[in-house]
């Protein structure tokens, strides 16, 4: 399983992903589920992947190879808008599935999904979710975060505390708490966590951190949050007696 | 959808359930998903239901009608242990499914599952989860809470804060916070919440509260928790800059 999260705010984008990949209990490996494709000063495209690893790697590798090639409908750098970026990713997913799915299905699930975020010159930063069918939706000011994979454990903290007025650092902190809730409750999502912050008009992915289990910040965040939550819950009133 | 939660601790049992029942968007109704069957001083059996409402009502109604009848394998009051109580519920579920499922399946999902908790004289309080297949598992000191229905949103707060040393009131408070997280993140789970506390050797269900949206305790719990969590998150350090 996987957990990937994308947040789009006036302050910019936060993109985070776990690293667990498994095909059965004794084939657990670590992979980076973030692919960053940039043309300095003009284009910054981040692709977060969930689902069958062979499918997601095929999609991302073929997109990388086609970037700048001018191949019709496959060249991310030829996209004039981020909507066209999402279309290109969806089309590549459909092409890979058309070729591979019938061979994979006797052995397991070939499907994949993606979160694609970033910015093209002339637009604000945008965020899309590409479904397994290759169609997609865009985040907006009312639903400004998108999740793929094991999404439920990490949703309550975002529903409660994330607002469009959050700073990029506040959103990054909430993203880490969302991953912490997911990792605690589900063994199939695992560290390290890749955390990417993107500031509008930077057109560069220069603010990325890899948080392993023993990273001092993550350790400290978990300690302070755990202790603070325990103290908070202790202060709350208990239900009165019923009848 | 539904969310039901059972907790078994040395201090006793906490059993909680939501009230939303829906079969399509315009048929939303409220139902109580807790059925309490007791023989004062000797038996206390609570059944929490999730799944197809016709199936769960048929199972519970037929179990009520058979209680004390002496009918082989169907009489909850004839059970010598709580393991036999779980077997009886599972067997009744299989009987109802055998009779009804083939008629229901063209229209939708006929399956159901249950949490069954309580106490028989001579045993400590016990807690079981009955799967749709009619088989079941029992909670123990390492997995001392069981959930059915929409379980994921409300699990992180329990994983983090619920311990076997909790008092019954602390466990009840955490159960309410678990339901609050679920209700915030999922429209298909809805109030009122039925909260039942059972003290060992009481053999009575005399501590039950129905929490509607506007119940003063629940309103106050949500306010204090929301404000406390916002303040806690504001105090936490933000991730440092990456590279």
Domain A3-235, CATH: 3.60.20.10
Residue A177 φ/ψ, nearest 5 degrees: -70, -35
- The full set of domain ranges for chain B reads 3-235
Each residue of B10-65: pLDDT tens digit? Answer: 999 999 999 988 766 566 788 999 999 999 899 999 999 999 999 999 999 999 99
Enclosing H/E stretch for A29: strand A28-30
A-B contacts at Cβ under 8 angstroms:
140
Residue-wise pLDDT for A18-51, tens only, equals 998 876 656 678 899 999 999 989 999 999 999 9
Percent of chain A with pLDDT over 70: 98
The pLDDT value given to residue B24: 60
- Residue A211's alpha-carbon distances to A1, A115, A196, in angstroms, are 18, 20, 11
Q: What is the distance in angstroms between the Cα of B243 and the nearest Cα belonging to chain A?
A: 5
Interface mutation target, options A12, A46, A145, A152, chain B, most CBs of B under 10 Å: A152
Inter-chain residue contact A206 with B243, CB threshold 8 Å: yes
Instruction: Return d(Cα B13, Cα B118) in angstroms, integer.
Output: 7
Determine contact, residues B78/B42, Cβ cutoff 8 Å.
no
Tens of pLDDT, residues A190-224: 899 999 999 999 999 999 999 998 999 999 999 99
At A240, the pLDDT band (50, 70, 90 cuts) reads: confident
Q: CA-to-CA distance for B63 and A10, rounded, in angstroms? A: 57
Residues of B in contact with A228 (CB under 8 A): 232, 235-236
Q: Using one digit for the tens of pLDDT, what is the confidence trace for B116-149?
A: 999 999 999 999 999 999 999 999 999 999 999 9
Contacts 24+ apart (CB under 8 A), A221-225: A221/A173, A221/A176, A221/A177, A221/A180, A221/B236, A221/B237, A222/A180, A224/B235, A224/B236, A224/B237, A225/A177, A225/A180, A225/B232, A225/B236
Tokens of A29: 């490996």
Distance from CA of A181 to the nearest CA of B (A): 6
pLDDT for B148-164, tens place per residue?
999 999 999 999 999 99
pLDDT at position B228 is: 96
Per-residue pLDDT of B75-101, as tens digits, reads 999 999 999 999 999 999 999 999 999
Q: How high is the pLDDT of residue A25?
A: 56
């Amino acid at each position: 399983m996987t957990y990937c999260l994308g947040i789009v705010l006036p302050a910019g984008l936060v993109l985070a992903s776990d690293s667990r990949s498994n095909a059965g209990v004794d084939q657990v490996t670590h992979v980076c589920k973030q692919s960053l494709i940039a043309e300095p000063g003009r284009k910054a495209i981040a692709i977060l992947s969930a689902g069958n690893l062979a499918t997601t790697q095929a999609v991302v590798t073929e997109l990388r190879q086609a970037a700048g090639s001018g191949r019709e409908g496959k060249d991310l750098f030829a996209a004039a808008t981020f909507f066209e970026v999402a279309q290109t990713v969806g089309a590549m997913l459909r092409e890979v599935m058309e070729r591979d799915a019938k061979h994979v299905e006797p052995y397991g699930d070939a499907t994949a999904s993606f979160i694609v975020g970033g910015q093209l010159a002339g637009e604000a930063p945008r965020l899309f979710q590409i479904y397994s069918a290759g169609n997609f939706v865009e985040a907006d000011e009312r639903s400004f975060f998108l999740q793929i994979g094991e999404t439920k454990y990490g949703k309550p903290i975002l529903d409660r505390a994330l607002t469009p007025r959050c700073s990029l650092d506040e959103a990054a902190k909430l993203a880490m708490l969302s991953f912490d809730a997911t990792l605690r409750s589900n063994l199939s999502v695992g560290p390290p966590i890749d955390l990417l912050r993107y500031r509008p008009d930077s057109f560069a992915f220069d603010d990325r951190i890899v948080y392993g289990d023993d990273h001092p910040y993550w350790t400290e965040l978990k300690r302070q949050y755990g202790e603070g939550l325990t103290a908070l819950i202790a202060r709350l009133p208990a239900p009165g007696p019923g009848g």
